[in-house]
């Protein structure tokens, strides 16, 4: 598969955004309101990860379908060896760092249970509001990503054009809305704040962003244009947007999905023009190690706070930028080591397993 450097750049920008917002949650963060708003939107880096993931999965799976005897089986092997080893290490490490005691995401549960730990090892934690983010910091996004992997082969089988990708996007928008309205009326847990946060994090809320990544694939790789999209779909999309603007409601296109649409435009733009500020060897490298960085930067922030290396200057902006540089530098250093020591070896192991299975299986 041809290396798409701008996709690595999208991942690099995504992890920078995520680290920006989490760094601001420690120490003195008295920055100007404009900078505070920019930092706050760093949380949308997760949606950029999702969009890039759906795009690359469609591309790689398409390229392998004609070359492999059992592409679906091999897909799951690759995903497991790509995600599981480092995430499992993260489970063990964060139990060591934070213990098994109570924390915000556990709500009324007094401690981390054995079932919680098992759910993380099996990537089922995203289906429980008390487990989705209580063990590994940021682990909710890994659970959501793995849920997308579970349905991906079916999506690839059914979505064969830009028009169908738009249909999937609209279906996911409407499904998210219907579930949101239903679960707001009939919550499954008593803690309303935790429940509302879960309704943002869980897979149906994020599914439209994955759909946008599939749209990106058909626009860039299959070179389909708006002519391929049904006029009825375009009218429906415009109608939903106009209703949202008229009623001033975020139900159809909430904040994170609007950012996803913006990221769709960014991906198209970078595929046509390699803007050096975004697409360069440094950002590309950061994108390649971004999974390690995602899991590592929480630990870096923890230990910097533990040893009081958080605040350095009285000026809030200078203080924040210094902290951000320190966190980012240490995270890149440690993640580069983990990338070479864990991610690459296990990915190679997965490839070897696939080669053995492909060599011994018959049609």
**Token reading at 312:** 């350095």
Q: How far apart are CA 91 and CA 112, in angstroms?
A: 12
- As given in the structure block, the two tokens for residue 121 are 């090892």
99-139 pLDDT tens trace: 999 999 998 889 999 999 999 999 999 999 999 999 999 99
Which tens digits make up the pLDDT trace of 42-80?
999 999 999 999 999 999 999 999 889 999 999 999 999
149: which 2 tokens? 């992997």
Position 94 confidence tier, pLDDT thresholds 50, 70, 90:
very high
Q: Once rounded to an integer, what is the mean pLDDT over residues 350-360?
A: 90
| DSSP secondary structure code for residue 225 in this structure | -
The percent of residues above 70 in pLDDT, for the chain, comes to 98
Confidence (pLDDT) at 108: 84
pLDDT mean over 305-317: 93
Q: How far apart are CA 180 and CA 173, in angstroms?
A: 11
pLDDT of 363 over the 60 cut: no
Confidence band (pLDDT; 50, 70, 90) for 274? Answer: confident
Sequence length of the chain is 363
The answer, yes or no, to whether residue 207 has pLDDT greater than 50, is yes
pLDDT band, very low/low/confident/very high, at 3 (cuts 50, 70, 90): low
Collapsed DSSP state (helix, strand, coil) of residue 307: coil
Can you give the pLDDT at residue 359? 83
Cβ-in-10-Å burial (0-12, 13-18, 19+) of 222 comes to: middle
Cα atoms found within 13 Å of the Cα of residue 189, Cβ hemisphere only: 19
Q: Cα torsion at 232, 246, 185, 204 (round to 10°)?
A: 50
The pLDDT value given to residue 89? 98
| Long-range CB pairs of 221-227, under 8 A, 24+ apart, other chains included | 221/58, 221/59, 221/62, 222/161, 222/162, 224/161, 224/162, 225/162
Hey, is 3 helix, strand or coil? coil
Helix segments in the chain, DSSP class H: 5-23, 33-40, 45-65, 71-98, 114-121, 139-158, 162-185, 192-201, 203-220, 231-247, 255-272, 281-288, 290-306, 316-338, 344-360
Give dist(CA 122, CA 105) in Å, integer.
Answer: 19
Give this prediction's pTM.
0.95
Tally Cβ neighbours within 10 Å of residue 209.
28
Q: Cβ distance 40 to 304 under 8 Å?
A: no
Rounded to the nearest integer, the mean pLDDT of the chain is 94
Query: Which is it for the CA torsion 132, 136, 139, 143, positive or negative?
Result: negative
Q: What is the pLDDT of residue 29?
A: 79
Across 75-87, average pLDDT: 97
Tokens of 354: 């696939």
User: In whole angstroms, what is the distance from residue 342 CA to residue 82 CA?
Assistant: 10
3-state class (DSSP) for residue 223: coil
Confidence of residue 362 (pLDDT cuts 50, 70, 90): very low
Q: What is the pLDDT of residue 1?
A: 42
Residues 6+ apart with CB under 8 A from 351: 78
Angstrom distance (rounded) from CA 165 to CA 182: 26
Instruction: Give the SS3 label for residue 130.
Output: coil
Tokens of 95: 């139990």
């Amino acid at each position: 598969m041809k290396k798409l450097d701008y996709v690595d750049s999208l991942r690099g920008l995504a992890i920078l955004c995520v680290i920006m917002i989490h760094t601001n949650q420690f120490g003195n963060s008295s920055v100007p309101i404009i900078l505070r708003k920019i930092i706050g939107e760093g949380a949308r880096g997760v949606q950029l990860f999702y969009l890039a993931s759906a795009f690359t999965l469609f591309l790689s799976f398409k390229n392998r379908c004609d070359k492999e005897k059992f592409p679906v089986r091999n897909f799951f092997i690759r995903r497991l060896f790509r995600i599981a080893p480092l995430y499992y290490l993260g489970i063990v490490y964060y139990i060591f760092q934070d213990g098994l005691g109570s924390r915000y995401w556990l709500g009324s549960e007094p401690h981390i249970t054995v079932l919680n730990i098992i759910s993380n090892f099996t990537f089922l934690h995203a289906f429980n509001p008390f487990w989705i983010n209580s063990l590994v910091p940021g682990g909710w996004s890994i659970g959501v990503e793995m849920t997308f992997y579970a349905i991906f082969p079916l999506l690839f089988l059914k979505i064969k054009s830009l028009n169908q990708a738009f249909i999937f996007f609209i279906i996911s928008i409407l499904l998210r809305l219907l579930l949101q309205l239903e679960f707001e009326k009939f919550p499954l847990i008593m803690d309303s704040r935790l429940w509302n946060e879960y309704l943002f994090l869980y897979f149906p809320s994020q599914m439209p962003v994955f759909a946008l990544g599939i749209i990106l694939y058909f626009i860039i790789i299959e070179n389909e244009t708006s002519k391929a999209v049904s006029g009825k779909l375009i009218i429906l999309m415009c109608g939903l947007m106009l209703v949202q603007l008229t009623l001033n409601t975020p139900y159809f296109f909430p904040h994170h999905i609007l950012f996803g649409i913006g990221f769709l435009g960014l991906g198209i733009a970078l595929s046509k023009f390699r803007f050096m500020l975004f697409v360069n060897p440094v950002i590309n490298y950061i994108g390649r190690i971004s999974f390690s960085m995602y899991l590592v930067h929480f630990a870096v922030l923890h230990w910097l706070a533990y040893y009081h290396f958080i605040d350095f200057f009285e000026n809030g902006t200078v203080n924040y930028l210094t902290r951000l540089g320190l966190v980012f530098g240490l995270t890149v250093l440690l993640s580069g080591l983990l990338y070479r020591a864990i991610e690459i070896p296990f990915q190679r192991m997965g490839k070897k397993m696939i080669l053995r299975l492909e060599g011994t299986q018959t049609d």
